[in-house]
A and B are shown apart, each in its own frame.
Chain A
Amino acid sequence: MSTFNIDTVENASTTPDTELPWAELGLKQDEYSRIVEILGRRPTAAELAMYSVMWSEHCSYKSSKVHLRQFGEKVTEEMTKDLMVGIGENAGVTDLGDGWAVTFKIESHNHPSYVEPYQGAATGIGGIVRDIISMGARPVAVMDPLRFGDIDHPDTQRVLPGVVSGIGGYGNSLGLPNIGGEVVFDSVYQQNPLVNALAVGVLKHEDLRLARADGVGNKVVLFGARTGGDGIGGASVLASESFDDTKPSKRPAVQVGDPFAEKVLIECCLELFGSELVEGIQDLGAAGISCATSELASNGEGGMHVELTNVLLRDPTLTPGEILMSESQERMMAVVTPQNAEAFEAVMSKWDVEYSWLGEVTGTGRLIIEWDGETIVDVDPRTVAHDGPVYERPYHRPAWQDDLQADSFRASEEGQHLPSTAEELGGAVVELMSSPNMADKSWITDQYDRFVGGNTALSAPDDSGVIRVDEETGLGVGLATDCNARYAYLDPYAGAQLALAEAYRNVATAGAVPMAVSDCLNFGSPEDPEIMWQFAEAIRGLADGCQTLGIPVTGGNVSLYNQTAGRAIHPTPVVGVLGRFDDVARRTPSGFQRWADGQAIYLLGTTRDELDGSEFARLRGHLGGHPPQVDLAAEKTLGEILINASRDGMIDAAHDLSEGGLVAGLAEMSLRFGVGSRISVDALCERDGVDVFTALFSESQARALVALPRSEELRFTDMTTARGFPALRLGVVDAVSGGIEVAGDFDGGSFGIGLDELKEAWSATIPARFGAGSAGGETPLGSRPADAGHHA
């Protein structure tokens, strides 16, 4: 302990001129000046560590705050009637009825997953699951929206297998089903893969817990894993406070997770909640103890007194600043009354979880941290946690945006000579379905346990993941995450709304009533006014869209600086929508059933000539023009139709139309259970005034395909007519033919594709790149899990 030259508050007051490495810790000159102004003296090394991490973009949302406010402002009473906890807590909480509540949130773990794919993705799951626990909920499922570079790029070859096995390795070990997500390949994500993680948890109303340190005299406890030197990153420059030359010169910026420790932590926390032994609780993620102490204190009575030498360490050489910044995984901080301390300790010892009492809640309004009795931090916790810098970053519409939007696919060179004969159209379908983004993702999703727990009603590749919450009543939730970043690149405002619309539609397609939104906003550098414009537009679009659809944003995450060498990712506002089922037994699956031979296939919605930004345009290497038209009123009506049809048992399959258009939707419904289909697009072309190619490949929104028994046709079309929503009978489910047949007014009159041929092409793309094995396949260079234990 004595190897440090401890920089106390007293020392800071008497040595005002000591140079501190604030710039190396990422603070700007004016930010540092503000810290000095707040404290009325120079900060101590430990205070500097706290301010620097808490005022970072990641923790303070300093660039995004002014825009994110819209999620709280653009709300109606309808939107908040079921909202129990909104933005600002660890995760939003929504009332599900029958005394149940649900909490969910998406977060990014992009950069760590690029540096160390396996551990980065694994600890991404660990972090979001702890957010859910800290609300008092039992985590019940996870989902992962992923984006990688071009499928053939070496970077993708290195990152993808590690990320996928990291997600599986951590999530499967926790016993949490992974019920969906996305996998998108696009060269814009080379060197900037996006690894977003969503977790959902359920709780009874009375179990709700918040991150507040209330009750003067209550005790503060840190429990779970020990604190080590992982994830400290920039704090290494604070080594100037150390005399010891033997300590590692560079602290790693990555963390290694331990899912089995987290599993114990989950059960241990749930017992603490059940026995009402904690007053407030906070998980430790980014910024570690700095974040937990300052947030708990400022959300509660406002004061806290902590003795930092009480923290149990894995590495005794850590300095106070490093302890405050460490991002060691699987740790929680709680506030416990002195009366409950003994019972708390009994729970810890039952689960074999290490803990240490750090200090207590005070009414002083100050967060005091001592090191061996000497004060090293004396701050107003609000200045650390909430009053960080706020930037009104300049933004403007990029000059190139107009040219981009003027470059429509139809007018482009790539958009000429579109498929028009039976042979060309059939060939285009196979090419589309075997392209990386449309291809079968089961090589990836098979590495995740989708059914553990026995409550999974639907999972990938269905439209939504569906989880049963109450085994007695069948009450449950449906969840979908979506974002077409190509649309968002063409028009960030519309693109964000289209992401929202698609997730909303997916949830409704499965039969759930959409209730709440969580978002993960992945963008480039906010210091670039053009990126900042994309960001501002996307938030404005999302907030307006949520208001129109009447569902609130309950939480989320912002990930900025996703760019390398001046090249930013496409704006990628991933939107997760959560919906409610009265009974998950009423869910609508996405595939045609074998027993459903002869059922009618209906197309809901209107098809327009909307090929800009489409998957077909991607096949031709084109990106320009305007994304499909946003029609949220139509999305709402379509949602009502799909939900009612599911509730009343009218339909046996439903699938939303998005990437790849009608023909991709039809192919996916047939491929799901290997059941063929026959359609004609003549009536569609005539009604909507489009050609055959457009009818098949356009990506017009607010559309879905459904299959229903002939006995329900009249009731179903009465419902769509009453709502004034277009519904058109395209054809039938054909369980005998073993193929997809499309007839229309084109050269040849019809084309057919055998499902065997289509399935082979569709399912070969991903394994061909990443090895034919499923879970536990080859692990490429650099992404080898440290603890794989293959080497006896």
Chain B
Amino acid sequence: MPTILVEVMPKPEILDPQGKAIANALPHLGFTGFSGVRQGKRFELTVEGEVTEEILDSARTAAAEMLSNPVIEDVVSVTVAEDL
């Protein structure tokens, strides 16, 4: 069943406290060599049947208006994955 993937990230200039916390934790746990971490989120929207341009548009709108907070987040991508 096809799935639409939506990826959302905090805007680059906005503080990402989760990413910061992970970045601080990495070296403590022995993972070195990473100078920064930013954490976003991925949504998987499952579609019954074919992904039409209409459904994709609807996903884009949902991504921009509901899945992300446009004030502090960016929708990075809206893509179709056939097999998950």
Contacts and interface: CB of A to CB of B under 8 A. Distances in A.
Interface residues of A, number: 30
B15 A314 contact: yes
A225 interface: yes
Contacts of A256: 10, 14-17, 72
Interface string B10-27: 111111111011001000
Contacts of A438: none
A294 B16 CA distance: 29
Contact of A787 (B16, B43, B65): B16
A252 B20 contact: no
A781 interface: yes
B11 A252 contact: yes
Given A258-B20, A791-B41, A784 B14 contact: no
Interface in A246-268: 248, 251-252, 254-258, 260-261
Q: How large is the interface on B (under 10, 10 to 19, 20 to 34, 35 or more residues)?
A: 20 to 34
Contacts of B18: 787, 789
Contact of A260 (B15, B17, B43, B69): B17
Contacts of B24: 352
A328 B14 CA distance: 9
A331 to B, nearest CB: 11
Contacts of B29: none
Nearest to A229: B13
A314 B12 CA distance: 10
B17 A791 contact: no
Interface in A215-255: 225, 228-230, 248, 251-252, 254-255
B10 to A, nearest CB: 5
B71 A252 contact: yes
Contact of A782 (B20, B21, B41, B71): B71
A115 B15 contact: no
Interface in B19-78: 20-21, 24, 41-43, 65-66, 69-73
A789 B65 CA distance: 19
Contacts of A252: 11, 13-14, 71-72
B72 A228 contact: no
B15 A255 contact: yes
A115 B21 CA distance: 26
Is the contact region of chain B dominated by helix, strand, or loop, or is it mixed? mixed
A230 B69 contact: no
Nearest to A783: B69
Contacts of A228: 13-15
Nearest to B68: A784
B73 A786 contact: yes
Contacts of A103: none
Contacts, number: 70
B66 A781 contact: yes
Nearest to B66: A781
Interface in A744-792: 781-784, 786-787, 789, 791
A767 B27 CA distance: 45
B15 A116 contact: no
A225 B16 CA distance: 11
Tell which of A115, A258, A352, A787 has the most Cβ of chain B within 10 Å.
Answer: A787
A788 to B, nearest CB: 10
B12 A315 contact: yes
A119 interface: yes
B13 A248 contact: yes
A789 B21 CA distance: 13
A328 B72 contact: no
29 contacts: A115-B71, A116-B71, A116-B72, A119-B72, A228-B13, A248-B11, A248-B12, A251-B13, A252-B11, A252-B14, A252-B72, A256-B14, A256-B17, A257-B15, A260-B17, A261-B17, A261-B20, A314-B15, A315-B12, A329-B15, A352-B24, A782-B71, A783-B69, A784-B69, A786-B10, A786-B69, A787-B10, A787-B17, A791-B41
Which are the 10 A-B pairs with shortest beta-carbon distances?
Answer: A229-B13, A258-B17, A256-B15, A116-B71, A791-B41, A786-B72, A787-B18, A784-B69, A256-B14, A786-B10
Interface of A: 115-116, 119, 225, 228-230, 248, 251-252, 254-258, 260-261, 314-315, 328-329, 352, 781-784, 786-787, 789, 791
Interface of B: 10-18, 20-21, 24, 41-43, 65-66, 69-73
Given A116-B69, A119-B72, A315-B13, 6 more contacts: A116-B71, A228-B15, A254-B72, A256-B14, A352-B24, A791-B42
